[in-house]
A and B are shown apart, each in its own frame.
Chain A
Amino acid sequence: MKPPASDNHWLARPENIRRIWIVSSIILALTVLLQAVIKVKGYFGIDAWFGFAAGFGFASCVAMVLVAKVLGLVLKRDDHYYDD
């Protein structure tokens, strides 16, 4: 199972990966901008703010990754920690 000399799968080509980034960025922007047209029903006030979910999702993910990182400093061990 050696890698073939040229990896020509359409998903692996650099120009396509760049296109995916561009399309994704447009979609991300659209989901926020669409809120100008579609009303998001807020249950507790702030969740109806413009782009709230986008910011909240991004921020909570950053927070969770950072918490995981800090915990990892204390709790991570080598793969074979329990082996002996």
Chain B
Amino acid sequence: MIEWASPALILLAAALLIALTRGHWRSAVILIAPLATLWAVWQVPDGVVSTVRFLDYTIEPVEGSALRRLFATIFAIMAFVGGLFAFRQARWYELSAAFAYASGAVGVCFAGDLITLFLYWELMALFSTVIVWCGGTPAARKAGIRYAMMHLLGGVILKVGIEGVVVHTGSIDIQPMLATNFDTWMILIGILINAAAPPLSAWLADAYPESSPTGSVFLSAFTTKTAVLALILLFPGEPILIGVGLYMVMYGIVYALLENDARRILAYSIVNQVGFMVCAIGIGTQMALNGAAAHAFAHIVYKGLLFMSAGAVVYRTGKNKCADLGGLFRTMPLTTICAIIGALSISSFPLTSGFTTKTLISQAAVDEGLVTVYFLLAAASAGVFLHAGIKFPWFVFFQKDSGLRPKDAPWNMAAAMVIFSVLCIVIGVFPEPFYRLLPYPPVEYHAYTQGKVLYYLQLLLFSGLAFFAMLPLLKRTTTITLDIDWFYRVAAPRVIAVLSTIISRILDTINQYFARFLNAMLMRIRRHYGPEGVLARTWPTGSMVLWVAILLASYLVMYYV
């Protein structure tokens, strides 16, 4: 392997090859390139592997560590399983964009300096926008533009921060920092925009559900999780992240409860899950960072799985809305089972990956004595079961009989879902080998104790009871829920419209006054200098002589006085 080359370049080359090849060759590229990337990821040793001089900076394109390899591993796996899910249904340009997007994510994992990180960051922004556009509808086009604007804004803010850090410290190294001055705040805000943190979290639920059934699978994995990685690398233990994370957790639940679009429910629950990770990064202990990294890994698997099941439904039925779906378990049994496994995992049900990873975060809160955080996270876990664990599968696959009898998922989609379902359960049942991949092994931590399992079973099953007890309140309505994006989608255009009317009125008035003034001036000039004007008249010689005589006489009088 060439030492200086990032494993990301394999996926980037694959993106190009997907565009250039056809048929089986293209399928081969889609399925082999992620596996080759996975192999390359595990060849990267710890520490800075290579440096390149660029201008006056020492660029470090590849730097390895357990944490970086963990994230790159799951990104490569996601590219493979996502590729398998999509390769027969998605158009080639969507797949090509997805691989370039995944390449950006893997590149961020190994970026040893802020400049490299920024380049891959923007690569992701660019190609994820293309994936949103691949939704192909007018709504997707508009959502893609809003998505691009948000990510370009985030990119600019990040760049401002990076420039500031470079100018003021002279270092472009990626190292832990705290948000203490303007530069670091800008970096933090730039990353948090990609993590869908408040107040700018609406872009995620706005854009992801507009993409194609296959596109949303890729979108769910990379952007927010690279932001989580960047936060672990740059802002571990930044206290403000605890509050930000808790807000995201609650925001995701409440909005998902109100939502009707099946994939938008899942999109809100991404914000919710990333909230758990952001909160853990804010706690910042080794246990917490292990939790954040492990949860990100598990989350990509089960959220990919959930988006795949939703994607299979959208692909087969052409319908997105819970109000139009229901009763699909009859003819889509495999998709239903996979969705339930994903739903149980996201709810951190015992024996699933969510349980073995999310409890690390709770444990970190316990270790630090953060009582409020601990109980809020427990309440949020219950809420996750409510909105994603039950609501999503219930309204899509059960509830009423919608009369739809679609075929089950095509074989490649089914295979992808089965792989991820198995992975969810394997990490849930045998967490120890997985824990060894975490950034701070060995973890002196036992996921399963009888008491803990019982505690979570009570918590989750009674949330389930609450769901069915309050089902009438949760009835689907054909509505959307306003979010902060209302300010830039509706309020800002309205304010601009009002302002432009006011300004044009003021300008009109000024114009009118000016015209009137000009008119008056012209009239006066005309009166004095016009053909009939006093000053333009021909004066008789007599009056001239008379005035001269008067002047001379008065001069004479003045002389004697």
Contacts and interface: CB of A to CB of B under 8 A. Distances in A.
Interface of A: 1-4, 7, 9, 11-12, 27-28, 31-32, 34-35, 38-41, 43-44, 47, 51-58, 60-69, 71-72, 75-79, 81-82
- Interface size class for chain B? 35 or more
A76 B483 CA distance: 10
Interface stretch (B219-227, B431-439, B457-465): B457-465
A55 B462 contact: yes
A61 B458 contact: no
Given A38-B454, A64-B386, 9 more contacts: A3-B405, A40-B451, A44-B371, A53-B454, A53-B455, A57-B378, A68-B255, A78-B478, A78-B480
B489 interface: yes
5 contacts: A27-B461, A47-B455, A53-B458, A56-B375, A77-B482
Contacts of B455: 40, 47, 53
A78 B403 CA distance: 25
B470 interface: yes
Contacts of A55: 462
Contacts of B386: 61, 64-65
B451 A28 contact: no
Given A32-B458, A79-B478, A58 B463 contact: yes
A42 B520 CA distance: 89
Contacts of B456: 53
Contact of A82 (B257, B461, B489): B489
B467 A28 contact: no
A67 B461 contact: no
B159 interface: no
B66 interface: no
Contacts of A27: 461
Contacts of A75: 258, 481-483
Nearest to A41: B451
Given A44-B371, A69-B473, A76-B477, A61 B383 contact: yes
Given A58-B465, A76-B258, A79-B480, A1 B451 contact: no
B403 A61 contact: no
B383 A64 contact: yes
A31 B458 contact: yes
Contacts of B479: 72, 76-79
Contact of A1 (B366, B404, B450, B458): B404
B403 A1 contact: yes
Nearest to B456: A53
B459 A56 contact: yes
A60 B379 contact: yes
What is the predominant secondary structure among interface residues of chain A facing chain B? helix
Contacts of A44: 366, 371, 374-375
Identify the interface centre among A54, A57, A76: most chain B CB within 10 Å of its CB. A57
Interface string B224-267: 00000000000000000000000000100111011010000000
B406 A64 contact: no
B254 A31 contact: no
A61 B463 contact: yes
Contacts of B329: 9, 11
Given A12-B330, A75-B258, A75-B481, A60 B382 contact: yes
B382 A2 contact: no
A36 to B, nearest CB: 11
A9 B330 contact: yes
A35 B453 CA distance: 11
Contacts of A79: 260, 478-480
B313 to A, nearest CB: 13
Contacts of A61: 382-383, 386, 462-463, 466-467, 470
B320 to A, nearest CB: 11
Contact of B457 (A7, A31, A68, A81): A31
A54 B382 contact: no
Contacts of A11: 329-330, 398
Given A41-B449, A60-B382, A28 B481 contact: no
Contacts of B250: 64
Contacts of A71: 254, 258, 481
Contacts of B508: none
A44 to B, nearest CB: 5
A56 B382 contact: yes
Nearest to B366: A43
Interface string B308-336: 00000000000000000001011000000
A82 B459 contact: no
Q: Would you list the 9 A-B pairs with minimal beta carbon distance, nearest first?
A: A61-B466, A60-B379, A53-B458, A57-B459, A68-B257, A57-B382, A54-B458, A3-B403, A53-B459
A16 B378 CA distance: 33
Contact of B481 (A57, A66, A72): A72
A38 B450 contact: yes
A56 B473 CA distance: 20
A71 B52 CA distance: 53
A32 to B, nearest CB: 6
Contacts of A2: 403, 405
Identify the interface centre among B378, B386, B462: most chain A CB within 10 Å of its CB. B462
